[in-house]
Structure 1
Amino acid sequence: MAEISINELEPLPQTPVTYDIEQAVLQRYQAVAHQPEAALCCPTDGYDSRYLENLPSEIIEKDYGCGDPTRYVAIGETVVDLGSGAGKNCYILAQKVGAAGCVIGVDFNDEMLTLSRKYLDEMAEKLGYRNVQFVKGKIQDLALNLDLAQAWLNQNPITTVDRIAAFETECTRLRQAQPLIASDSVDVVISNCVLNLVRPQDKQQLFQEIYRVLKRGGRAVISDIVCDEDPTLRILNDPELWSGCIAGAFREDAFLQMFEQAGFYGIEVLARQEEPWQVIDGIEFRSMTVRAFKGKEGPCWERNQAVVYKGPWKAVQDDDGHTLYRGQRMAVCDKTFTIYTNPNGPYHQEMIPIHPHEEIAPESATVFDCTRDQIRSPRETKGVEYQVTQTDTSSACCSPNSSCY
């Protein structure tokens, strides 16, 4: 089979919509904040019942999602939920991250924010701590606090065109001085069937914003609706299908490519619905959950480290183009070594780390050439003068008490 470069994939076409996407989405979700709509999104099973027991029934009834990104979050972490809606995922996360963690739900819909905030005191009393907040913002602009922007508008109504410029200046100031979500401040960004609701022209910025707010080593865990082919013009021009998580669905391959283009690494499909949720015009729409990590940028330093890829593939390539050959001691820079061996990262279970016999101090390290793949000689990690002979058999691996027997 011929290889296909990810960069050769055709981009999604511009969407020739004839309606206001944001208004279509806002109006529908304002309605379902009051009256549940069971078929609005792909049904989700598998939530841990321990975390659901504490949730008010109204939150569960008015939750709309297509996956469970909450299962990939750990205790003590700071988490942002994009499009937090009724607050179900946030209140589950509140229990998972514990009192030392923090959960921030972001939504643009006032009705949904009112619903989620309604139970803040009740949930804090049940858990014995308060670690959740719900803030108003657009998920493609996580720097702008819309409550603060609205407060400025209340005091400075726009009555002339000139005042529009003043409002834009104030929004820029707010993004810089009082960001809704600060850069490099979050361990995990999750979202559950919301990214597809964003306008096509804003989706690139959306992924850039997710990347911006994450800490180095942080990760995004996104459940969303994807399709196997580009939606037809009939689908794209139906506002009901857009607000219903269909028209704005990502093509499967393009969804992963969006993470890559934003700078993420270790991009992995964690879950993919086997049978399609819906089929329209011959196009299959299904739920998919993807995880991606931030933090592969930075200088490359030589510290005589190597990794061995355990298999089963004969060779693999990472997001920086490094090729690892099964069973070979591949030379890597200090940054890549750290990424590959990080126990909280995506690669460590596939790698055997080879540390140098004598560690090279960071301040003594030289530049490593990451543009080519190299097999590391054992003498580089042990040292050319390494002449140790070990004959002590007291700890031999094949003694009667060892695992060899």
Structure 2
Amino acid sequence: MARLQHRARKPMLRRLLDCILKICQTCGALKPSDPAHSIAADRSGDGEVTSWFFIVAGLLACGGTGNAASCPVVMNPPAVVVEYNGNITVSCWLLAEDAIGMGWESTAGGTGLMKNIDKVTLQIKSVVDWALSPRCYVKMADGSQCDVVLPVTVYKSMHSVSLHMFQSSPMLEDNHYSVRCEITSVAPARNLTVYLHKGNKLLQAEPILESNPRPVHKVSVMNVAVDRNDDGAQIWCEAKLTFPQVGLYLPAVRSGSQRLSVEYPPTFIHPENETLEVAARSKLHLNCTAEGKPPPDYTWRDLQSGQNLNEKGSTLAPSFHLQGTYSCTASNIHGIRTKYFTIRETAGNHPTMLVVIIVITIIVVRALLGSGLAICIFCQRRGHFQPTPSGIV
């Protein structure tokens, strides 16, 4: 009796396995050359156990729907992502022996009940239903009926992406500002992610939460921090529709760019105070160049006399100088910065200067004495030399 029951189960098992093999070939999980094909012809007891293993593995490999455990069908493909007005073709395979028939129930492409078949195909040439939800159903011999819903996602790429800044006036460094990215006519928004870029740097990525499957208009508000290095940088956003469950990643749609204008207080290129040792009467050049936006104004002051100097630029090169401290102030509407220069004369250079003066004096005296002596000798020879009294005239 056991042998008869075993033989009765064999045709159904082979048919079920053949069905799974066909489906897995279609979805790419199994190739005709794979060893599983030889299992289908195995008629031993061990072959039956192994065949059941491959049936379960085949169902998992083809990714059947979650309801397939309670309803004996499997779909290929198990889920569909289609562009609006696009077409789809989906096969539903029957895995039961005691079924009267099967069919597709759908707002488009429905087949009605079809008897004595083990596969029914849904074909829709133009998908225009945003909430399309086809069902593959099976009517069993006992009058019961079950169905499995085919997950369908209908998408439409966004019409446009635009960027708007809430700040109309120039930005100030170390502050945060709001940026609005607008995406028009996109579906489904739940698969949308918005990205904010500053130059080549990604600042933020924000997924959109939306349950409506139809095209919608979405706004994403994000914050951006700026500093002086961002002045002149380009800021822009982009939006992407992605469907990782089927490996579909649509090209990003990018907004136009906007140029950031960031203002900041002055900062000296060389911020530290300076002490300069210079030789007397040597050239002097003081530099307190600062970076700022708007460009800073400069004020120089002699702290010894307490007076402002006439120089209005970033450098000071006086024709003469005294020992002491000078201040340079750089200022704009956002801040004031001051730097100090202390000047000291180098004492070691004074003897050298004195020697130079003495040498020059000796040369001049000798030249004058030599000229006077020659004139006297010349006058004596001519007889015109007359001594002049040294008294008061």
Q: Which TM-score tier does this pair reach, normalised by the shorter chain?
A: under 0.3
Look at both structures and tell me which one has the larger radius of gyration over its CA atoms: 2
Between structures 1 and 2, the one with greater strand share: 2
Between structures 1 and 2, the one with greater helix share: 1
The TM-score, its normalising length taken from structure 1, stands at 0.24
Higher relative contact order (CA 8 A, sep 6+): 1
The TM-score, its normalising length taken from structure 2, stands at 0.25
